[in-house]
Structures are given as C-alpha cells and as structure tokens.
A = this chain, B = another copy of it.
Amino acid sequence: MADDEANPDEEALVSTFFAPLAAGYPGALDLKDDCALIEPAPGSDLVVTTDAIAEGVDFLPGACAADVGWKALAVNVSDLAAKGARPVAYLMALSFPQAPGRDWLAAFTTGLSQAQKAFGINLAGGDIDRRPGPLSATVTAFGSVAHGTMVPRTRAQAGDRLFVSGTLGDAALGLDLRRSPQLAASWSLTPEEGAHLVARYDRPQPRLALRQALLAHARAAMDVSDGLVKDLSRMCAASQSGNPLGAILEAARLPLSPAATKAIAADPGLTRAALAWGDDYEVLAAVPPHAARAFADQALADGCPVCEIGWITAQPGVHVVGTDGQPIALARTGWDHF
C-alpha cells in the first residue's frame, strides 16, 4: 500500500481506508513499507496461497463493493481452511481502470473489515495500480499450522470416504438469480430462500471451523471452488499413491439447502449446479474409513456439519451415480479459468 505515498491523495486514501485494516497486525508496519514482516510462531509452518478475483469474471459488473471486498479475502481464506491452517495475514494487489471514488472504497474496505473479523486475519500490505482492464483484487493469504501437519491435496487413498462441508450449488443458483430474478418464481422460492442463494454467491463462508476435524482425521482435503466433480478429479489426479485414483459420487447424498432442493425439484437439470458449477467454497475431504465417524462427529461438534457423498476408488475417473443407480453424464465438470 505504501507504493504511492508521495501522491498526497493516494496517501490519504491509504491511511483513511486501508491502514485501519492493518492496525491489528504489527508486521504490517502501518503500511509504510514496501514489505511486511511475518514472525512465524516457533514450530509452525506457513501455508500460503494466492487467488485473484476480477469484475465480470468472479463478480458481476456493478456488484456491491462490500461484497467484492469480502469475496476477495474469502476465496483465499477458503484455501487455508481446507489445509487446516489458522489465518494470519494477507497482502492485496488492487488494480482499477480508473481511480475509485471514496464511496466505493469505503464500502469495499467495510466488506474487507467484516471478512477480517469473521476469519481472524489482518491486512499486512499490498499494492495499488491503475491500469486498463477490469477491476481486480489479487490476495495472497498466509496461514499457520504446526510443523508438518498441513492437510495436503495429494494423499487420498482408495477406500477413503469423501465428505463435503455445508451445502452445494447454492452459489451457482444465486448467480443465476442475480442474472435472472424471475427464476425465483419458477423455482417457487420464498424471498428468504432467494436471498439465501444470492448471499451464498456474494459472501462465501470459508469453513475455518473444520480445522480440528481436518487436522485430526483427514488424509487429503481441498476447497471446492470450480465445481465438485472437477475439483474431486484434481484430488484424484494429484494422488501420490502411485497410480491415478478415481471416485464414486452418489448424487442422492449431495447436501442441498432447502432453497436449492426447491430449485432442483422445479428443474431437475439444476442438479449440475451442485455437481459442476463452482463458487461453493466448501471443503472436500478424503477420510480413512476407520476415522469417518470421528471426523463427522468432530465437525458437527465444531458447528460445521459435513456430509458423506462417496468414496475414492483405485479405478481412475470420477463417476456420479444417480438415485436410480445409473451413471449421470456431465457435459462439463466445472468452471474453466483458462
């Protein structure tokens, strides 16, 4: 944030809007340095991740700035949550095609501040640039785990039970509703149900409460951000057990919110929202069979219920089985960034 302090206007913007976000983190050096300082706790590893969100790609043009701030941080903290890491601090590189107004910045930093409090993390530094292209926010988030305990993506084994937190498909349906509000009526949603789906798109909730359960019991985990089937395929492909693995998913066991259940009842094709549309920001975990019960119990005790949805197989390929026992074919498995 310190990059442009000699410009009085921007210096004022940084000290007015961003410095308060860094006040809780001494290593931010009051945003007066190009660098921030992280003092790792003895015996801890740092878990680091970076993800960008951009207008028109990850949020709709004209989206509420507070939601944009929340989402920029939440999508990164979601990665930390899936690793069993405790959030520590983050850096943010912002770019705008034109300098944002004070109202926009006030709302954006309010959303960030709400997310910081919810996730227990502070701004440590960053960079602001004006350049062509969509408004974008690239966050790098730092988390902490006891040395050697990070839950990797790569250690799933055949026979592991697959669990997912929360509910799937809400955010994808929420985005549909934002684009086509009349869908609420055709899905017979109450206003509260419609608002629930939209909020799930606007304000992802990283599953930090799952930390103890993951650290104690999970063999592999990752967050589901690009569609369940696609992300599960990645977990299978990343296996270090030797051969690529596969998985069976049981469609009937996918956890759905009441709102998503109604939408899918009205239009059964929307099952693909829960399987392959992305933006869920839930945790997918592979747990050895003997630990499955303990994992689910711990998650529930910590206020983050999980649902068993299938298992890892030695045969490669992810297969979805419908309620009739027949395979469900998917035209696409998830969101392509590229």
Q: Give A contacts to B, CB under 8 Å.
A: 2-7, 9-11, 29, 32-40, 42, 44-52, 54, 56-57, 79-80, 82-83, 85, 91-93, 95, 99, 124-134, 136, 138, 140, 142-143, 147, 150, 152-154, 222-223, 226, 230-231, 233-234, 237-238, 333-334, 336-338
Identify A37's interface contact among B10, B35, B47, CB under 8 A.
B47
B residues less than 8 Å from A5 (CB atoms): 233-234, 237-238
Q: Which residue of B lies closest to A231 (CB)?
A: B6
Q: How many copies does the complex hold?
A: 2
CA–CA, A29 and B203, complex, Å: 29
B residues less than 8 Å from A92 (CB atoms): 50
Q: Which residue of B lies closest to A14 (CB)?
A: B338
* Main SS at interface, chain A: mixed
Do A233 and B4 contact each other (CB < 8 Å), given the known contacts A45-B39, A154-B33, A238-B33?
A: no
CA–CA, A133 and B40, complex, Å: 37
B residues less than 8 Å from A9 (CB atoms): 338
Provide a sorted-by-A list of 12 A–B residue pairs whose CB atoms are within 8 angstroms.
Answer: A2-B234, A3-B337, A6-B333, A6-B334, A29-B152, A35-B143, A49-B125, A50-B126, A56-B132, A95-B136, A133-B133, A138-B138
Judge whether B91 and A140 touch: CB under 8 Å.
yes
CA–CA, A126 and B51, complex, Å: 8
Closest CB pairs A-B (n = 10): A133-B133, A140-B140, A38-B46, A32-B238, A40-B40, A35-B49, A6-B230, A34-B79, A6-B233, A33-B153
CA–CA, A4 and B238, complex, Å: 12
**Within the complex, what minimum Cβ distance (angstroms) separates A6 from chain B?**
4
Do A34 and B136 contact each other (CB < 8 Å), given the known contacts A6-B233, A52-B127?
A: no
CA–CA, A129 and B52, complex, Å: 8
Judge whether B233 and A51 touch: CB under 8 Å.
no
Q: Which residue of B lies closest to A153 (CB)?
A: B33
CA–CA, A95 and B58, complex, Å: 13
Do A6 and B45 contact each other (CB < 8 Å), given the known contacts A52-B93, A52-B95, A54-B131?
A: no
Judge whether A338 and B99 touch: CB under 8 Å.
yes
CA–CA, A49 and B140, complex, Å: 10
**Within the complex, what minimum Cβ distance (angstroms) separates A111 from chain B?**
20
Do A336 and B50 contact each other (CB < 8 Å), given the known contacts A29-B152, A34-B153?
A: no
Given contacts A34-B79, A52-B95, A132-B134, 8 further A-B contacts (CB under 8 A): A2-B153, A3-B51, A6-B237, A32-B153, A34-B222, A35-B143, A50-B127, A54-B95
**Within the complex, what minimum Cβ distance (angstroms) separates A169 from chain B?**
18
CA–CA, A136 and B4, complex, Å: 19
Judge whether B54 and A129 touch: CB under 8 Å.
yes
Judge whether B338 and A222 touch: CB under 8 Å.
no
